[in-house]
A and B are shown apart, each in its own frame.
Chain A
């Protein structure tokens, strides 16, 4: 297993190298000029030229790439064209917000998705299953921005039991940012009320973001459980008179979970890439809107390094998923 992990980690180097080139080429294929994006309606030809010169955009492309790679190997991922802030600092400041949101969303999806999948599979063909199937279909097809706005309208405006946006009630709680995980920072500051408030702020965006993964996890679990239900060992376990909880947990779910775990891994990776719509609707300053804004303003430094860091995380999450297979199914051998 150690060897397997080491090999996968070494493989990262060529993957990431290739990725830097791919992102670089892709960015420069995008039409448009960062200088114009920076200057807006004040983009006179002289101003544009001055900004291009200052940003080094007049250098030949290969030179720009070499400069970027030169910085990268020294650990310098560059500075934003727009804010002049260090890209790594900006990423580290926003990524905890994204992790907090995506983990909440995926936990919401898992905690509801797997039991619902199991129940609908066991009740296959009955009304519970039919309602579940329709609900999951709606869950998959509902646009996030619509769901987000509706949730907000319902639970923050019409029936105001939850906050409409943001990460914490800024009037009630002043939490110094240490880790940038609002929940953890609140605990560190000894603000238990702030911790609860941060959790409350997570509910609506997590539900909005977690609905699609929830529906997917539920459907995959259902399909996978149905396969397992027909296995002999399940029938044997039931015939032996084992309590249904043990049959469900040890015999059915454990064997049915492998494809579910794969899906959870992929969904987590996707969510960590940032949820532009959810972040926009709920005023959540995560990496999704950060990179999206960088693309619209052609902030090359942010796009290049931001996407690279996200790619690294995606690959690592997938590695984690691969490793977890071994625990779920000891028959799997890594080679």
Chain B
């Protein structure tokens, strides 16, 4: 009997604990209760626009999949890191809210320089202070750019974007010199004109850090630097990093001395919740008020929940089926008719409906419609080279090529395991669906897979996979970042991933890369794209949109196709009360 007593004491203790917390829990619940459904109730809208007057104050708890890989912006290259760091650190220029291709000045008020120039002059904003109280000026910009150019080898591995935009590191890269012409003017001299230079500068890794903080944290010495790991006040952004506990939370507080309009929110707390289902439950349970990368399978759950809403982010990515005729001996892909049959056999819209919750668009070309270059490049690609779904034509082509029931065309089809990507929400499901479509027109498909994070991408890029899924999320809006990165030649050799060596392709890509005037550049890339699609070196499948979810109390979030988003414009309908 005595033991039962202990059990009941324990049970009572749990209930008491649960009850003790009721009060804050209840007030939290109240604060997250949906707003009254009257005409004056603020209503969320698709574009992040809001009804009602923005209110000051409150704390937003937002979940991503992870926190930042490093607290040194230059050493990061993924969206989860950018999400934390771009609230704190700012680059010279940035993408306008919601736009993938319109640049606005941030730390630079204005600039002179065109894609065809080798000199860029940036006029810096006056009166900007770093969070540590030191002044932002031209010398600070120069110190940052010099630091990146002279990165130790250990850092170069992580400083992907500097290397990619500036053509490597050291004195011979794209940047010939950076001069602080006066306190508020910086002049960049490039070795060659670069159409991607300005857009590159808008990336978070090019954010300017307080030189005093760089020195204090020994930021240039890989062995002793604490810059990437310690909480420091080195940015100029709308939020100051107050606390950072890896795998637990990043706490950002409003920068009261911000040079622009200060943020509405008092605090933003970013939590890492890796599992999308757990993110949804956290939103439903009220411990967070918003999260990114809603799983397409949860779209309906969010939309049908009272007090929650889904916010769509237009795609800046593309899933494709890579075709490599040299990956395997005797590959049927050497025959262009077979490659065309594959392209025609795939019902891309069906993939979007089944795997992206119907949100996204058919990828007729590699560039997504959210790109400013889409129209120009698409105009250069013949309609027939976009291969609209036509299974009968696919069957006919295979037959003409000499394949039939007795002599089927067999392809080895690879998909990655252990990963989901915004462009690839369910690799195995997609593989199954495409396999069925290919089998339907007469192919024999041998599905295969390998581990994404340790094998897949490298094996595909080294040209080991005959038919394979892969995708791309654009770094910045330029066709070279799509077609150029994937199909550019290296020392006269085509990219190993596709072994795509069509007549005139190398010249077309080089010409496009060197064409700097915007309209001509679009046309030149259109020409290169037409060859690539015409030869079916790959089949672009989908541009999958992604989505965020919020409670209705959260207003003013502006999604950007590139994911470059800040919490500056976000406010809570109840001001956090």
Contact = CB atoms under 8 A, between A and B. Distances in A.
Interface stretch (B38-46, B96-104, B106-114, B149-157): B149-157
A8 to B, nearest CB: 33
A83 B246 contact: yes
A37 B450 CA distance: 13
Nearest to A156: B285
Given A43-B457, A54-B154, A160-B286, A111 B228 contact: no
A90 B251 CA distance: 18
Nearest to B22: A161
Contact of B160 (A39, A116, A176, A290): A39
Interface in A276-333: 280-283, 285, 289-290, 296-298
A170 B269 contact: yes
A47 B454 CA distance: 14
B404 interface: no
Contacts of A90: 246
A84 B222 CA distance: 9
B458 A48 contact: yes
B70 interface: yes
B228 A83 contact: yes
Nearest to B18: A161
Given A162-B18, A170-B249, A115 B282 contact: no
Contacts of B392: none
Interface stretch (B174-182, B271-279, B406-414, B537-545): B271-279
A30 B451 CA distance: 11
A58 interface: no
B158 to A, nearest CB: 8
Contact of B274 (A45, A116, A200, A289): A289
A50 interface: yes
Contacts of B153: 50, 53-54
B278 to A, nearest CB: 6
Given A41-B457, A43-B458, A280 B21 contact: no
Interface stretch (B1-9, B201-209, B345-353, B509-517): B1-9
Interface string A64-89: 00000000000000000011111001
A19 interface: no
B245 A93 contact: yes
A290 B248 CA distance: 11
B52 interface: no
A82 B75 CA distance: 10
A118 B471 contact: no
Interface string B246-290: 111101000000000000000001011111011001101111000
A36 B455 CA distance: 7
Contacts of A89: 229
Given A83-B70, A166-B271, A31 B454 contact: yes
Interface stretch (B23-31, B132-140, B523-531, B557-565): B23-31
Contacts of A232: none
B461 interface: yes
A36 B454 contact: yes
A219 interface: no
Contacts of A34: 454
Contact of B24 (A111, A165, A193, A199): A193
B273 A169 contact: no
B451 A39 contact: no
B326 interface: no
B59 A200 contact: no
Contacts of B243: 176-177
A244 interface: yes
Interface string B451-470: 10111011001100000001
Interface string A186-220: 00000001001101100100000000000000000
A243 B228 CA distance: 65
Interface in B461-514: 461-462, 470-473, 496
A170 B59 contact: yes
Interface in A24-51: 30-45, 47-48, 50-51
A264 B455 CA distance: 40
B272 A283 contact: yes
B24 A32 contact: no
A248 interface: yes
A174 interface: yes
A119 B4 contact: yes
Interface string A141-185: 000000001001100110011111111011110101100000000
B71 to A, nearest CB: 9
A12 interface: no
Contacts of A30: 454
Interface string A94-112: 1001000000000000011
Contacts of A280: 274-275, 278
B421 A32 contact: no
Chain B interface residue number, banded: 35 or more
A162 B21 contact: yes
Given A39-B160, A112-B10, A283-B271, A33 B458 contact: yes
B154 to A, nearest CB: 5
A14 interface: no
B12 interface: no
Nearest to A128: B4
Contacts of A171: 28, 59, 61, 269, 576
Nearest to A51: B157
Nearest to B152: A54
A152 B281 CA distance: 8
B20 A200 contact: yes
Contacts of B63: 283
A176 B576 CA distance: 21
Given A43-B458, A160-B286, A169 B7 contact: no
A55 interface: yes
A22 B448 CA distance: 31
A245 interface: yes
B281 A156 contact: yes
Interface string B373-401: 00000000000000000000000000000
A93 B78 CA distance: 24
B285 A41 contact: no
A14 B324 CA distance: 52
B456 to A, nearest CB: 8
A88 to B, nearest CB: 12
B178 to A, nearest CB: 23
8 closest A-B pairs (Cβ-Cβ)? A32-B454, A164-B285, A285-B247, A115-B3, A54-B157, A156-B285, A37-B453, A51-B157
Given A94-B246, A119-B4, A285-B248, 19 more contacts: A34-B454, A36-B457, A41-B421, A41-B471, A42-B160, A43-B457, A43-B461, A45-B496, A50-B153, A83-B228, A84-B70, A86-B229, A112-B7, A162-B21, A165-B287, A169-B25, A196-B20, A197-B24, A281-B278
Interface of B: 1-4, 6-7, 10, 14, 17-22, 24-25, 28-29, 59, 61, 63, 69-70, 75, 77-78, 153-154, 156-158, 160, 222, 228-229, 243, 245-249, 251, 269, 271-275, 277-278, 281-282, 284-287, 418, 421, 451, 453-455, 457-458, 461-462, 470-473, 496, 576
Interface of A: 30-45, 47-48, 50-51, 53-55, 82-86, 89-90, 93-94, 97, 111-112, 115-116, 118-119, 149, 152-153, 156-157, 160-167, 169-172, 174, 176-177, 193, 196-197, 199-200, 203, 244-245, 248, 280-283, 285, 289-290, 296-298
